[in-house]
Structures are given as C-alpha cells and as structure tokens.
Amino acid sequence: MKLLILIFIGIVLFLIAKSYKTEKFANIKLDIKEKFEGDLMQHEAGLLVALMAKVAKADGQVCELEAQLLKHTLDDISRHFENQDEIREKLKKIYDDEKKSFDNTIQICKNLYTLTRHNYQKRVKIMEYLLNLAFIDKEFSNTELMITEDIANTLEIKRADFERLINAFEMFYKQQKENAALSLEKAYEILEASKDDDVNILKKKYRNLVKKHHPDIIAGQGASQNIIDEATAKLQEINEAYELIKKHKGI
C-alpha cells in the first residue's frame, strides 16, 4: 500500500493563524495510479477516513478547519486512483456513515492494524493525523482524548509516542495563543488605547492617529521624503492594529 505512505509523509504545520492542515499532493508524481474497485473499508484509505469520522464525531461539531481538512484529505487520496471521482464519492459516504456511531471503532482499528502491522512509523503518522484533526479547533476534549486513546491502543502505538504527539500539539496551540495575545496587546499600544475602551473611544483615537500620521498631511506641512516614508509606515501599522482590535471586539 504505497498510497498511505505518501499521504502521511505530507502532514505539515501550516500557520495561517488557523492551525495544521494536510499538504496538497499535486507535486507528488506517481508513475502508476491505483485502480481500485473493491470495498474501501478493506483499504487503508477507507479505514483512515472512517477513523477521521470517529474523531470528528467526538466533539459533536465540525468546525470550518475540520471541513477543510476533510476536503483536502478526500481530494489528496482520491487523486491517486484512476477512478478518482468514484473513489472520492465512496470515501465521502464512508465518512458520513461512520460518523453516526462509535460502535465499530475498535474493529476498524484492528483492520487497519492488520494492513499496517509491519510499519510502525506509518501507524504513528496515522495517529498524528487523527490528533491533528482532534486539535484543529484548538480544543482537545475528554471525549476526543478517550477516542484517540482507544485508537492508539488498538493500533499498538507506544504510550510514550502517543503522549509525545499530544504534547507537541498542546505546545503548538499554547504558543499560538500566546502570540495572539501579545499581538493584541501591541495593537492597543499602537493605537494608544486600552482594552476597556468602548467602540466610540477606539474610533476617535484611531481617527486622531490617522490625522496625525497621514502622509498626505505630513507632505502638506513640507516634510522631507524620509519623514513622509516614516509616516506611511506608521499609518500602515495603525491600520493593521485597528483591524486586529476590531476583529477581536467583533466591530
């Protein structure tokens, strides 16, 4: 099964101030595409998608990033089959069906273990992929922990490797949260404002700073080009800070 080996090599971090995502595999050139017409629940691709459904079901809701991850996964997997449109539809049906119940989770894991029993690193990558999905909404619930623990145990993932992966995701999102907090604090500082200021005060401070630093006004005062360039950069900084604060406050 070369397909999943390629797919799991592609798990990468992507910070678009969103989180992880799968890499697109358009750059991977396969000499031969697989022609598969059997039961995808007996294929690594189908079993992966089925486990994705179980993890997605754990928190009871599908956020935008989960939906994006699913879309990329279905696209990436199906692209490596000759009958890719048919495969994608079947994988989507597997996802929809398997999301209805946890009852057969262990059996799915056992089937996947049978196909990957001689490739421990592949199973670790599968686990990383599923934890990626669990963490993608920046929360890791007790239910998600329990379902991923069950999967890890059945796939015979070493506890140390399972905990290492969880710690890596937790550190990633903790750092992301801290960076966002620091950015917001800096935005208020640039706007010479306080987080307790109401909307009208924020708008007033923003407008005053724009008038003070607008390059056209500075140019009209006979300033040198260096001063005008500094004012242009400052105005951009003010605009970016104001937009961040507006987004944070839902203005």
Name every residue whose Cβ is closer than 8 Å to that of residue 127 and which is 6 or more positions away in sequence.
Answer: 148, 151, 152, 155, 157, 161, 162, 165
Residue 18 to residues 67, 135, 177, 180, 244, Cα–Cα distance (Å): 13, 11, 11, 11, 15
Domain ranges of the chain: 2-176, 191-249
Structure-token pair, residue 198: 């109401």
Angle between helices 105-116 and 44-58 in degrees, nearest 10? 140
pLDDT at residue 53 is higher than 80: yes
Q: Which helix (H) or strand (E) holds 21?
A: strand 21-22
Q: What is the mean pLDDT of residues 31-53?
A: 87
Closest CA to 216 of 208, 205, 227: 227
Q: Is the pTM of this model over 0.75?
A: no
183-221 pLDDT tens trace:
888 899 999 999 888 889 999 999 999 989 888 888 888
pLDDT at residue 88 is higher than 60: yes
